Amino acid sequence: MFLYQLLNFFFAASKKEEDSKYDLSLYKRGDLLEVPRTLFTHFGIYLGNNRVAHLIPDILPAITKDKSAIAKMVTNNRLLMGVITKVASVRVDSVVDFAYGSDILINHMDKVCSQPPLDGDEVARRAEKLLGSVTYSLLWYNCEHYVMYCRYGMAISYQTYQFCTTVRKIVFSRMSAYLTALCGVSFMLYLSCVTPLTVLLTALISFTIWMAS
């Protein structure tokens, strides 16, 4: 019994310390909040009264109907499995659960986006209207697309653009063209299948990558 009370005391103390990390007076209804989460930055819209609407991948709703379990903070494991299975939802969490221990940037995208932000109440209304299950796409509909639509009226993702640009530089590079040609020739020689068709395909693919580089 004493051990149970001691554990509860430490849990309550750590929870209080975590809550005090975030000054709610800094956030206004309609603010765009962002935090580092796993490999990407995570985004949400502050609704007021310690509530943040955010689109987050989560595998749990696909495997259980336990609403109390689903309502708990989304862990990184739940998030990553949700990304893989494309299961997500726009949900409302507390600032602490949204931030997941990270520091919060407020309206940082205002400096990046050329479009001026909408009125705070309108931003929040849009965020609330989209609550519920969604089909997730890392490239075409993620948390950044959601908040950008709510705050600026256009569903875009700078993270996705940067990611695709990086991949393009890697895939469509002169080195990739050389390696593709080398692998194609090696493959044909290894399988003894040097035919006009295989030679043409190898040359065509290598040439396409070369021209795109």
**Catalytic positions:** 143
Count CB-CB contacts under 10 A for residue 194. Answer: 11
CA distance 89 to 12: 29
- Three-state DSSP class for residue 121: helix
The 3-state DSSP class for residue 205 equals helix
Phi, psi of 207 (to 5 degrees): -65, -40
The two tokens of residue 18 are 């975590």
- Distance, in Å, from the CA atom of 8 to the CA atom of 15, rounded to the nearest integer, reads 10
Rg for the chain, CA atoms, rounded: 24
